[in-house]
Amino acid sequence: MSDADLKNALGQTTSQTAPGASVASPASNGLMARRFRGFLPVVIDVETGGFHSTTDALLEIAAVLIDIDADGTLKRGATHSFHVKPFEGARLDPAALSITGIDPFHPLRPALPEKDALGRVFREVRHAVHAHNCRRAILVGHNAAFDLGFLNAAIVRADVKRNPFHPFSCFDTATLAGAALGQTVLAKALAVAGIQWDPSSAHSASYDAERTADVFCLICNRLADSFKDAQDRARSMGWSNVAPADTPGDEPPIGT
Burial of 61 (0-12, 13-18, 19+ CB in 10 A): buried
- Is 244's pLDDT higher than 70? no
Closest-CA residue to 106 (of 119, 92, 120): 92
Active site residues: 203
CA-to-CA distance for 12 and 194, rounded, in angstroms? Answer: 14
Residue 245 confidence class, pLDDT cut points 50, 70, 90: very low
- Is 247's pLDDT higher than 50? no
Are β-strands 58-68 and 74-84 bridged in parallel, bridged antiparallel, or unpaired?
A: antiparallel
| pTM for the model | 0.85
CA-to-CA distance for 211 and 81, rounded, in angstroms? Answer: 14
Structural domains of the chain in order of their starting residue, each with its CATH number? 3-234 (3.30.420.10)
Residue 36 confidence class, pLDDT cut points 50, 70, 90: very high
Per-residue pLDDT tens digits for 85-130: 999 999 999 999 999 999 999 999 999 999 999 999 999 999 999 9
